[in-house]
Chains A and B, each alone.
Chain A
C-alpha cells in the first residue's frame, strides 16, 4: 500500500459529462501529481500542485482542471468528456516540490470509461 488514496476506482460516464477524481496524498507529502495513462501511451504528466499552489503544468487540456485543498487532498475535474478521455488516471505524491532523488508514490488509479 503506497499510502496514496484515489477515489473512485472506476467511473463510467457519457460523452459531454463532467466528473471529479479525488486523491489523498501520503501523510506528510505536500506535492500531488496527476497523470493520464492510455492503453497505447505511457504515463502522461498533467499537472502538479505543491502545498496548495500549482507548481508545474504538463499536457493538460483546457477542459481539465485541478486544485489542491488546505488539507492537501486534490481533485481533478474533467469536463465536456470525449471518448478519447477514457484512460487510467493516476495521482502520485512526494514530500517536496522537486523530485531531486525522491520517488513518487502512486495511487491505484481511477479507470475512467467514457461511453
Chain B
C-alpha cells in the first residue's frame, strides 16, 4: 500500500535552533517528493522538490535530502525563526499514468522565542 509517514507528529524548538523533520514513504514507482509549508489557516506552499536523482537541495534555511534506496527524506531547518512555526507536509508523487499524489499528515513545528 502506498503510504507517506512523517515524524515527529509535533515539535517545539527555541528560536535560533536547528531541527530535522522526517518523511518515510512506500510509494512505488516513485517520481518525486515535495515538502510543503502550511501556515495556520492558509494553504500549503511548496518549499522544494526532490527527484529520484537528487540527494540534497537547499532553499534558504531549508535543506531537503532524499535517499531513494531507503525511501526516506528529511527537511532540515537551520537557525529557526518564529515565522517557521507551521505544519510541514511531505508529498510523494507516483510515476503511474495519473501521477497520483500521496500526502503525509504533516509535522507541526512550533518555534518559541
Chain A residues in contact with chain B, CB under 8 A? 2, 4, 41-45, 56, 90, 92, 98-101, 103-104, 106-109
Q: How far is the CB of A18 from chain B (nearest CB, A)?
A: 24
The number of inter-chain residue pairs (CB within 8 angstroms) is 47
B43-A90 in contact (CB<8A): yes
- Give the contacting residue for A42; candidates B51, B100, B104; CB below 8 A: B104
Given known A42-B105, A43-B89, A103-B49, contact A98–B41 (CB-CB < 8 A) = no
Interface residues of A, dominant DSSP: loop
Chain B residues in contact with chain A, CB under 8 A? 31-32, 34, 41-46, 49, 51, 89, 93, 98-101, 103-106
A106–B45 Cα distance when bound, in Å, is: 7
Given known A100-B31, A100-B99, A101-B32, contact A106–B104 (CB-CB < 8 A) = no
A109-B104 in contact (CB<8A): no
B32-A45 in contact (CB<8A): no
Q: How far is the CB of B2 from chain A (nearest CB, A)?
A: 12
B34-A103 in contact (CB<8A): yes
A41–B103 Cα distance when bound, in Å, is: 10
A44–B103 Cα distance when bound, in Å, is: 8
Residues of B contacting A103 in the complex (Cβ-Cβ under 8 angstroms): 34, 46, 49
Given known A56-B100, A98-B99, contact A108–B43 (CB-CB < 8 A) = yes
What are 15 of the A-B contact pairs (CB < 8 Å)? Answer: A2-B43, A4-B43, A42-B106, A45-B101, A45-B103, A56-B100, A90-B44, A99-B99, A100-B99, A101-B32, A104-B46, A106-B43, A107-B43, A108-B43, A109-B42
Given known A4-B43, A56-B98, A106-B43, contact A101–B105 (CB-CB < 8 A) = no
Select from chain A the residue with minimum beta-carbon distance to B93: A99
Residues of A contacting B49 in the complex (Cβ-Cβ under 8 angstroms): 101, 103
